[in-house]
Structure 1
Amino acid sequence: MSGPAASGPVPNGAVVGIAERVAIAFARVADVLPDGPADEHRAGRVLLDGLLSRAAGPAVAGARVAKGHNGRPYLPDHPRIGVSVSHSGGYVAAGVGLGRRVGVDTEVPAPVSPGLRERCCSRTALGALRRLPPERGRREFVRIWTVQEACVKGAGLGLAGAPWRIPVEVGQHRGHWNGFTWRSLPDRFPVPVSCAYSTEGMP
């Protein structure tokens, strides 16, 4: 990820460059806060600050985070830096985009109802999921959901953006939706992580 600071601390987290000026960090909450309670919200902020320092420079770390429409976080003092945080089951992910809106989502795989699968997946994806071993099928469905969530989070739409309508197929790890480019990392981390970023940058 290019930017003013190409290196810097990301507390016990792995950093992946998703695209030019877009990166994510991922970690276990227990690794981010080894001496404190397992506070996923606090761990997310610590991880985000480390990624901001690395991507945009130490002066940006600790910048005030506010919530916009539908809960999308943003930096009031740095409006051209997109940020996103997600946590699930003891894991946390953060995303930063320099001049780009960004959304990141991570989820721990768990059994879901057939109705939820049918709502979120195309007929082709449903057929492919049925052919997978159960554990792999659960992980792949959750990966699809993280893509859909990352897209609507980046767009600042939340559930109002009907994430279940965003087409994602089994085995598809890159794609585009409504002015966003998305990428999923199905096996890079212990749980699925996906990121979406605005293709045209921020206004």
Structure 2
Amino acid sequence: MSAGARARRAVAECRLIDLHAPGAAGDDPAARSARSVLSERERRRADGFRDPAAAVTYIRARAAVRRTLAGVLGGTAAGVELAAEPGGRPVLPEHPGWYVSWSRSAGVLLVAVRYGGPVGVDVELVRPLGSGARVLGTVYPGAAALGELDDPEAFFSAWTLLEAAVKASGRGLARGGREVRLVRPPGSARCALGGIRGTGGAVWRGRTDRLAVTAAGRGPRATGPNARVMTAVVTRGPSAPPVPLPLPLPLALGVDR
């Protein structure tokens, strides 16, 4: 199927993937299978990790991004050409009009593919965090106008929307964070996207979702059986941002269960 035909059938796709699996990182069959679809540059980066578990998570994430792209665009995961703009936003040189964005936190991957307009995503493990307004204020001057942000629901909705918005605009957090407009609707526990300045009047839309994950990682930000993540998806244009859908790790990596 041509890219144009796929564009008519699937305008956008967004997947949430748990990247952890049982077993020792160095002997993970899924990771070995995933490595085969990576580019040479990605394999070199994986080899540079000192922590084997971190290397496995990176390999799984990149393979899942490639599998998702191949599923939407056609071809093979290994054949997907990924490049980056000067600001770091990923691009698909062989597929004009298609956009991709991904984010990883605590062993959970969020990846979105969209045709016809930019997309940006972010995912964060929801956890207690003191002084939310002060933390957000380091990159977003309007943090005080959003009210109390010590509640994780409020803070992580604002933070993920900000990250997703600067990814969608391609401007980066240091510069683009000042151009994003976040709002706090009256009575709402979450913040919302009000727009992005300096984009020629373009209509930007954002959504946040608090979703359960079941992965069990390691370290202070590892997920547990009752873990929740906040996801944000930002798009430009009239269509609503896609809803993140869970995808089991074996399917994301293209291996047998």
Quick check: 1:30 aligned with 2:53?
no
- Residue segments in structure 1 that go unaligned for 5+ positions in a row: 8-19, 131-136
Given that 2:161 and 2:193 are in contact with CA atoms closer than 8 Å, whether structure 1 keeps it comes out as: no
- Residue segments in structure 2 that go unaligned for 5+ positions in a row: 22-27, 32-52, 213-227, 240-257
**Alpha-carbon shift at residue 77 of structure 1 (Å):** 1.3
* Matched residue, 1:184: 207
* Matched residue, 1:152: 166
Quick check: 1:87 aligned with 2:117?
no
TM-score (norm 2): 0.58
My pick for the range that moved more, 138-147 or 166-175, is 166-175
Given that 2:181 and 2:195 are in contact with CA atoms closer than 8 Å, whether structure 1 keeps it comes out as: no
**Alpha-carbon shift at residue 64 of structure 1 (Å):** 1.2
**Alpha-carbon shift at residue 173 of structure 1 (Å):** 4.9
* Matched residue, 1:10: none
Which of structures 1 and 2 has the bigger CA Rg?
Answer: 2
From 143, 147, 165, give the equivalent of 1:126. Answer: 147
SS in 2 for 1:35: helix
Deviation per CA, 1:80-136, whole angstroms, max 9, x where unpaired? 210111101111111111122211111123425452244545445223x35xxxxxx
With a CA cutoff of 8 Å and minimum separation of 6, indicate the structure with the bigger relative contact order. 2
Q: Distance in 2 between matches of 1:168 and 1:149?
A: 15
Given that 2:182 and 2:193 are in contact with CA atoms closer than 8 Å, whether structure 1 keeps it comes out as: no
Percent sequence identity is 23
Q: Distance in 1 between matches of 2:154 and 2:164?
A: 15
Amino acid at match of 2:183: V
**Alpha-carbon shift at residue 71 of structure 1 (Å):** 0.9
* Matched residue, 1:42: 59
From 120, 125, 135, give the equivalent of 1:116. Answer: 135
Aligned in 2, Cα 1:168/1:24: closer, same or farther, shift over 3 Å?
farther
Deviation per CA, 1:120-173, whole angstroms, max 9, x where unpaired? 45445223x35xxxxxx1243112111111111111111243325531324345
SS in 1 for 2:183: coil
Amino acid at match of 1:126: G
Q: Report how many aligned residue pairs link the two structures.
A: 179
Q: Distance in 2 between matches of 1:98 and 1:171?
A: 28
Aligned in 2, Cα 1:50/1:153: closer, same or farther, shift over 3 Å?
same
* Matched residue, 2:190: 171
Q: Distance in 2 between matches of 1:115 and 1:122?
A: 8
**Alpha-carbon shift at residue 29 of structure 1 (Å):** 1.0
